[in-house]
Structure 1
Amino acid sequence: MATAPPLTRDVAGLATLLATSGVVHLVRPDVYEGMVPHVLPRKRALVYVSGVAEIACAAGLLHPATRRVAGWASAAVLVAVFPANVQMSVDHGRRAARRGDASSRASFAATLGRLPLQWPLVRTALRAAGR
């Protein structure tokens, strides 16, 4: 049996990020409902499911016996929620185009800037999986 990849600072940070986000999904689902792509049904249920998945991944990343599987699962969750980040950016872009104010444009720019940040998180999850 292969030894688990080490719990590095970046993996611990990913676990913290996933746990925090997962808790917010469950406590304040309305924060995330608007991000769910418009074509998907049962937005509240999807928010709850993704929150539970994030918490489970976070817990799994912290334990050596489950770190490998949790790394793969974390990467999958991060890829699965990426369309929600894109939806958020599209919605902010539309709002900025409609309003044209500096605040809306800055908010849109922030959502665009956030998109590429998802990929280092996926890489960290894959390192936790031993890849």
Structure 2
Amino acid sequence: MIRNLYGALLFGAGILHFVREKAFMSIIPKSWPFRRLMVQLSGLIEVILGMMLLLNKGTTFVKRTLPAFFIAVFPANVNMAIKPSKIGGKVIPKWITWGRLPLQWVLIKGVEKIK
């Protein structure tokens, strides 16, 4: 159950990196180089890890690497909370962008429950 939930969330988020590439680029600090590449690579990683979980292949590998991935994307989430962010031209409410930050740690801790 948890494995499939994480798999679906990762796979869906990964696909969104390509469908809404500009939205994901907007949450990376503008001073960082290779923003588009970061969005594409993180999206690809999410798609691959999500598929691995959905197919129940390499679950041990995913459990070992997923916490590091969540930590690696955390600065973009912080930037999204600090700066007004838009999706589809609409500003995302601050309670969502700030509420997302502790959720990242819940996701990291939840990786332990993947079987």
Query: TM-score scaled to structure 2, two decimals?
Result: 0.84
Counterpart of 2:7 in structure 1 is 15
Cα drift, residue 116 of structure 1 = 0.5
Are 2:8 and 2:54, in contact at CA under 8 Å, matched by a contact in 1?
A: no
Structure 1 position 70 matched with structure 2 position 62: yes
> What's the % identity of the aligned pairs?
30
Larger radius of gyration: 1
Counterpart of 2:32 in structure 1 is 40
Cα drift, residue 115 of structure 1 = 0.9
Number of aligned residues: 111
Query: TM-score scaled to structure 1, two decimals?
Result: 0.74
Q: In the TM superposition, what whole-angstrom CA distance separates every residue of 1:74-115 from its partner, at most 9, and x where no partner exists?
A: 22211111111100001029xxxxxxxxx96x8112211111
How many Å separate the matches in 1 of 2:32 and 2:113? 31
Structure 1 spans left out of the alignment, 5+ residues: 1-8, 94-102
How many Å separate the matches in 2 of 1:52 and 1:114? 21
Once the two structures are superposed, the pairs formed by residues 1-131 of structure 1 within 5 Å of their partners are: 9-92=1-84, 107-128=93-114
Distance 1:10 1:69, change over 3 A: same
